[in-house]
Structure 1
């Protein structure tokens, strides 16, 4: 299938809206297609990580969006406690309250974070959430928009 200008425009939205920002991450509204989380290199704190996810959930509910692109390229690993909170509390709430259905994860540059993320993705795969990991942004976005 040839790559058309319309497909390029759809893959590269020009007017995202910054919805939330803290030291650890930024949440963008890419309506009408998806929510994007860009993680930063700041040290992970429970408060900052949970704030990013809670604002993501709020945006999913407010906008009716169901898909998230989570860019982990710069994100440092997070704690087992945060991983458990995400899997046991946040993901089920996001599915139930917002209809969260698909997540494309762009893998981190650091091997330790890639391993942590892969474990999280495997666990999240046991829920109704469909999650895929990618080495680069473009394939992640292509996959996410096809869902």
Structure 2
């Protein structure tokens, strides 16, 4: 795997199987740094024409209200507005509050987005699901 981008929010890697591997850290997040991290994720996906990502959220702190709002109204809206289908395999956070914040994002923000996602307990399960997905046309 090749490192594409890294900042205090996490690491973004190019997986040889054709997806972005998004690894969040447990560090507290600055909102602008968080926006930069997800913006680079968007660029990586588009650069390669990829439609899949594996988001490892095991160690991340809960999303803030500001982050949840930005994910739904900006980051996911970019893909939805131009019909760019995304598939996300998400490894669930170990922190209970982070899981609740993730549930809030998924249930309220993703209803109108182009993201199809599944939640997984392990990286192996998440990877297997991504491998089974067909490439969008």
Both proteins in one fold, TM over 0.5: yes
| Aligned-residue offset at 1:100 | 4.0
Asked if 1:56 corresponds to 2:64, the answer is: no
Structure 1 contact 69–105 (Cα < 8 Å) conserved: yes
Structure 1 contact 73–109 (Cα < 8 Å) conserved: yes
| Aligned-residue offset at 1:49 | 1.0
Change (3 A) 1:135 1:32: closer
Q: State the alpha-carbon separation in 2 of the partners of residues 139 and 111 from structure 1.
A: 20
Match of 1:17 in 2: 2
Q: Which has the larger radius of gyration?
A: 1
**Structure 1 unmatched ranges of 5 or more:** 1-15
| Aligned-residue offset at 1:44 | 1.5
Q: State the alpha-carbon separation in 2 of the partners of residues 130 and 103 from structure 1.
A: 6
Q: State the alpha-carbon separation in 2 of the partners of residues 114 and 37 from structure 1.
A: 17
Given the alignment, which residue of 105, 114, 133 partners 1:120? 105
TM-score w.r.t. the length of structure 2 is 0.89
Structure 1 runs, 4 residues or longer, greater than 2 Å off? 94-100, 125-128
Structure 2 contact 83–114 (Cα < 8 Å) conserved: no
TM-score w.r.t. the length of structure 1 is 0.83
User: Aligned runs of 1:30-109 on 2, under 5 Å?
Assistant: 30-96=15-81, 99-109=84-94
Q: State the alpha-carbon separation in 1 of the partners of residues 24 and 82 from structure 2.
A: 24
**Structure 2 unmatched ranges of 5 or more:** none
| Aligned-residue offset at 1:141 | 1.1
Task: For residue 52 of structure 1, give the secondary structure of its aligned residue in structure 2.
Answer: helix
Change (3 A) 1:37 1:139: same
